[in-house]
Amino acid sequence: MFYPLFMNTLSLYMHFNVFVVLLDVAQDNGVSAQEAPLLNLIFSVVEIFAYLSTGFLPNEKQGRTRTLQIICQLVCSAIPFLYSISSTFTAFAVLTAINAYTIGTMLLLNVILMRQYLGEALFARAL
């Protein structure tokens, strides 16, 4: 029941770490600039297969949430590659904003999933 929620949380943690590494790399312009996008792609492929292997949840609303998770996952996968080919500060700023928005969306999806899994009554009592 909590497997998709766990995978989404793990995804957020990994993407946030890769995002921090990318910011360090952007400041240092070191050799490891190619490692972070590759690492992120490996994580993303594993996560997407894990999402798809569990199948969509029976509830249509939860199925849409899962689809949005996969879309956010693909966006997070593309960002590091775009970082590695962008050379201007404007492009870097735009990509940073997109990445922050995607991470925020994934956090919101965690809340939505938790609300759907625990049910309306339990969620109302927790607030």
- 1 vs 62 pLDDT, higher one: 62
**Poorest-pLDDT segment among 34-43, 48-57, 67-76, 95-104:** 48-57
Whether residue 9 has pLDDT greater than 60: yes
Distance of alpha carbon 120 from alpha carbon 11, whole angstroms:
25
Domains in the chain: boundaries: 3-126
Q: Is the pTM of this model over 0.85?
A: no
Tens digit of pLDDT for each residue in 53-71? Answer: 555 444 555 566 666 766 7
